[in-house]
Amino acid sequence: MHEIILEIVQEDGGTYEEVAEVVMSQFSFVRYHIEKGAFSTVRLPYLGKFYVKPGRLSRLNHAVIQRGKL
């Protein structure tokens, strides 16, 4: 991640802190939507698609239901 930020700073300018904030905001966006439970595919340009695998989603839902029964 450090190398990516440095490359962007060299090519486009700006401070390291500004570029790091922009790069990290994308990951915060993905994290927010996955934690929120939307579980939809989130596509970030140049980085790809992020999603929860269906098998993992069913295991997570099952674990939540089991915790609620305790």
> What local confidence, expressed as pLDDT, does residue 9 receive?
93
Q: Are 1 and 16 spatial neighbours (Cβ–Cβ below 8 Å)?
A: no
For the chain, how big is the Rg over CA atoms in Å?
A: 17
pLDDT digits (tens, 9 = 90+) for 13-68: 999 999 999 888 887 877 777 777 666 677 777 777 777 777 777 777 777 777 77
Question: What's the pTM?
Answer: 0.50
